[in-house]
């Protein structure tokens, strides 16, 4: 490490609140599926800013659109209309089949809005203030109070309790646990279509269909969190969102991360009765959400996805990634499972994976974990077979160095 990079790291440790245990590199620029640090070292990126940079770095149309928008107008506030928000909302509705869009600054804020909409919907029906929300154990929805309250991992919640209350937890892919928890007080069931931080667990067809039916039978709303697994990451023909692979439509859904491909933007979307009979003027708001710059990013991302056939490309390359990961699993006894959907994959180990991720970083490969024993693979969606092969070579060496 150069003295320059060490000086930047030392300064950061003096000035930034220490809520992250950062890797000891300073990333400086990106190109395609590669990142470069201040010393000029090249890294193959299989994290994509945690499933954010779906289009890779330096996409010309994306960059040009943002530069153009900066020269027009960046922010106005939601007291006025702006064209990028309208265009982005229309495109988002077209690919999701939902009816209404509320733009936020982040995924956690999208979750907050979704929870408020569900509570308001139920309150309008019966005036009760004791409605419950059912969430899943091992889920992760964000770190704001509402999102944290429905995150099914006590270690994230306990230091900040009490949470918002009236939240019950069931088990992912265990329909009977949801059936046991649901009641006349239930206003919503929330779950990730594919659990990310909780270990890369896709919902089963039977489970998601069953939860949809339980919600319908009990007058509850189904909220699907697609913040990490959405925006084409799981593939599936024309499926922009993972739930579309199942043929099960939510009443409310959340999206973020790859929606802006680096510009902070998220959204929650509503359909049917949830869209028409929940939040009204004065119920919810945001200063920056839906501003022209963020929405120009989202609009452009959705255009590029369509023009370049990004989801179809995921369908082409994802089976090859799965095949290569399965080969690695067969080679190493310490790998106990491979699971995922599309370009959201995980390898589970019988030990902590931190040492392997560190070795990979030293070898020019950026990876991330999902829990202590799982390596998560969320590369830019534009990767090809050559990048998969390169990643596998680097990871193979890292595993040998870390665990042999």
Decide if pLDDT at 40 tops 90. yes
Res. 162 pLDDT band, cuts 50 70 90: very high
Q: Which two tokens stand for residue 167?
A: 């939240």
pLDDT in tens, 232-274: 999 988 899 999 999 999 999 999 999 999 999 999 999 999 9
Residue 240: per-residue pLDDT = 96
Tens digit of pLDDT for each residue in 96-134? 999 999 999 999 999 999 999 999 999 999 999 999 999
Architecture in CATH of 73-308: 3-Layer(aba) Sandwich (3.40)
Q: Is the pLDDT score of 1 beyond 90?
A: no
In the predicted model, what is the mean pLDDT of the chain?
Answer: 96
d(CA 221, CA 224): 10
Write out pLDDT tens, residues 270-312: 999 999 999 999 999 999 999 999 999 999 999 999 999 999 9
Segment 58-87 shows an average pLDDT of 97
> In sequence order, what are the residues at sequence separation of 6 or more whose Cβ sits closer than 8 angstroms to the Cβ of residue 112?
104, 142, 144, 146, 147
Domain layout of the chain by residue ranges: 3-58+309-403, 73-308
Check residue 237 and give its pLDDT.
82
The b-or-e profile of 179-189 (16+ CB within 10 A means b, else e) is eebbeebbbbb
pLDDT at 404 over 90: no
Q: What is the pLDDT of residue 362?
A: 97
In CATH, 3-58+309-403 is 3.90.1150.10: yes
As given in the structure block, the two tokens for residue 123 are 């309150």
Residues 223 and 114 sit within 8 Å (Cβ to Cβ):
yes
Mean pLDDT for the stretch of residues 135-153: 96
- Its pTM stands at 0.96
**Quick one: which of 338, 336, 332 has its CA closest to 401?**
332
> For residue 188, what pLDDT is reported?
98
**Nearest-5° Cα angle at 118, 115 to 119:** 85
């Amino acid at each position: 490490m150069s003295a320059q990079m060490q000086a930047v790291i030392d300064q950061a440790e003096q000035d930034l609140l220490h809520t992250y245990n950062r890797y000891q590199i300073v990333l400086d620029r990106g190109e395609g599926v590669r990142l470069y640090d201040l010393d000029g070292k090249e890294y193959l990126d299989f994290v994509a800013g945690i499933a954010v940079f779906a289009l890779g770095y330096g996409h010309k149309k994306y960059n040009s659109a943002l530069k153009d928008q900066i020269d027009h107008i960046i922010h106005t506030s939601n007291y006025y209309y702006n064209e990028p928000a309208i265009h982005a909302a229309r495109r988002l509705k077209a690919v999701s089949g939902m009816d209404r869009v509320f733009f936020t600054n982040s995924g956690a804020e999208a979750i907050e809005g979704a929870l408020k909409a569900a509570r308001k919907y139920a309150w309008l029906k019966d005036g009760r203030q004791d409605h419950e929300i059912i969430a899943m154990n091992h889920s992760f929805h964000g770190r704001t109070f509402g999102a944290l309250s429905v995150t099914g991992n006590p270690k994230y919640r306990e230091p900040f309790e009490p949470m918002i209350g009236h939240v019950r937890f069931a088990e992912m892919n265990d329909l009977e646990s949801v059936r046991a928890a649901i009641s006349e007080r239930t206003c919503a069931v929330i779950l990730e279509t594919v659990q990310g931080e909780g270990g890369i667990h896709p919902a089963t067809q039977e489970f998601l269909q069953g939860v949809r039916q339980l919600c319908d039978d009990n007058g509850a709303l189904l909220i699907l969190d697609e913040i990490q697994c959405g925006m084409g990451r799981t593939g599936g023909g024309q499926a922009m969102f993972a739930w579309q692979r199942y043929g099960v439509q939510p009443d409310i859904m959340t999206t973020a991360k790859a929606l802006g491909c680096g510009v902070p933007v998220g959204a929650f979307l509503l359909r049917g009765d949830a869209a028409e009979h929940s939040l009204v003027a004065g119920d919810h708001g945001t200063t920056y959400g839906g501003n022209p710059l963020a929405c120009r990013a989202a609009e452009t991302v959705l255009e590029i996805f369509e023009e370049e056939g990004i989801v179809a490309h995921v369908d082409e390359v994802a089976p090859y990634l799965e095949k290569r990961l399965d080969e690695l699993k067969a080679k190493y006894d310490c790998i106990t499972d491979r699971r995922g959907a599309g370009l959201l994959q995980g390898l589970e180990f019988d030990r902590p994976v931190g040492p392997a991720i560190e070795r990979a970083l030293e070898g020019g490969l950026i990876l991330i974990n999902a829990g202590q024993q799982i390596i998560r693979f969320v590369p830019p969606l534009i990767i090809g077979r050559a990048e998969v092969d390169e990643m596998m070579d680097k990871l193979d060496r890292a595993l040998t160095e870390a665990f042999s």
